[in-house]
């Protein structure tokens, strides 16, 4: 199998120097249109795909990002490994603005989003005990270190609905739960990637200390954008190193991310809705065929 790295990111993350045969592709699927066209090409002999999570020009809020369509589109064009790059606030005094965190756990506090490809007509229960891929996270950590980025390996990401930032009481509560960073976009993205049997790694770029820090006060959007711009350059450098680390040939994932649906589908074959199965062709075709 050939490796294809899919990067889901914000402004400045979907453009890459040295990308060969770069082309914006329109990808359609049964879950609606993804956030934007997908930029495809190759970097150092490895196929790449870049999807702007909010759309170019930032037209989707965290709540209205079409998460299912995004993951389906990436799987449909052959992506094997998804790197999520996103801005976040820090709830941990040891993780400062300008630094990166390779997230390994999530607490999902979103409530206004569709969170699964499955439901009536085809029920499935996928484990997200370990929602990120250690193999892919290893590559991201190595790439960050080689780039000179200060990176923290491991951290819990609190996914909030947004679009407002936290109240002080909320920020302190999430901190008391042991959360390290807070953002609005990694859920249900990580859950859907697991359902699609895609390896998923989350690179969280810290822009601020949320509002809990006594020396920093409330989140200042101007400061966030300034740090975000600086982080985008670091992220592009990190991504540029991934093709050499992951290689062009893709072996089965040793952590079985690519076999997450093996025993997940509960609905008896004769009770499955053909219309639902048709929508799952890219996501679950391996186990439904």
Beta-bridge partner residues of 39: 24, 50
Q: How far apart are CA 20 and CA 150, in angstroms?
A: 29
220: annotated active-site residue: no
Question: 1-30 burial, b for 16+ CB within 10 Å, e for fewer?
Answer: eebbbbbbbbbebbebeebeeeeeeebebb
208: annotated active-site residue: yes
Catalytic residue among 36, 47, 104, 208, which?
208
User: Which runs of consecutive H residues, i.e. helices, occur in 185-279?
Assistant: 189-195, 221-246, 274-279
Asked if residues 180 and 106 have their Cβ atoms less than 8 Å apart, the reply is no
Asked if residues 157 and 181 have their Cβ atoms less than 8 Å apart, the reply is yes
Beta-bridge partner residues of 151: 100
Which tokens in the block code for residue 268?
A: 């008896």
Catalytic residue among 210, 215, 220, 281, which?
210
**Could you give the residue numbers annotated as active site?**
208, 210
């Amino acid at each position: 199998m050939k490796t294809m790295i899919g990067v889901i990111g914000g402004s400045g993350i979907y453009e890459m120097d040295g990308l060969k045969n770069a082309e914006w592709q329109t990808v359609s699927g049964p879950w609606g249109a993804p956030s934007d066209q997908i930029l495809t090409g190759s970097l150092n002999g490895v196929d790449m795909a870049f999807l702007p999570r909010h759309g170019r020009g930032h037209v989707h809020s965290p709540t209205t990002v079409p998460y299912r369509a995004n993951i389906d589109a990436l799987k449909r064009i052959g992506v094997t490994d998804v790197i999520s790059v996103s801005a976040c606030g820090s709830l941990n005094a040891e993780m400062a603005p300008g630094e990166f965190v390779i997230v390994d756990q999530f607490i999902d506090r979103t409530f206004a989003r569709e969170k699964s490809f499955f439901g009536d007509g085809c029920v499935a229960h996928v484990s997200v005990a370990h929602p990120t891929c250690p193999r892919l996270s290893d590559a991201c950590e190595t790439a960050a270190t080689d780039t000179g980025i200060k990176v923290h390996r491991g951290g819990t990401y609190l996914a909030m609905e947004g679009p407002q930032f936290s109240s002080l009481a909320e920020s302190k509560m999430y901190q008391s739960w042991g959360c390290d960073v807070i953002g609005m976009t990694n859920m249900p993205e990580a859950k859907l990637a697991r359902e699609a049997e895609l390896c998923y790694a989350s690179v969280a770029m810290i822009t601020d200390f949320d509002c809990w820090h006594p020396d920093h006060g409330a989140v200042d959007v101007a400061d966030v954008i300034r740090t975000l711009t600086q982080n985008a350059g670091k992220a592009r450098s990190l991504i540029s190193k991934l093709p050499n680390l992951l290689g062009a040939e893709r072996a089965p994932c040793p952590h079985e991310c690519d076999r997450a649906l093996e025993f997940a589908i509960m609905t008896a074959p004769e009770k499955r809705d053909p219309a639902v199965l048709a929508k799952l062709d890219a996501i679950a075709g391996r186990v439904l065929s």
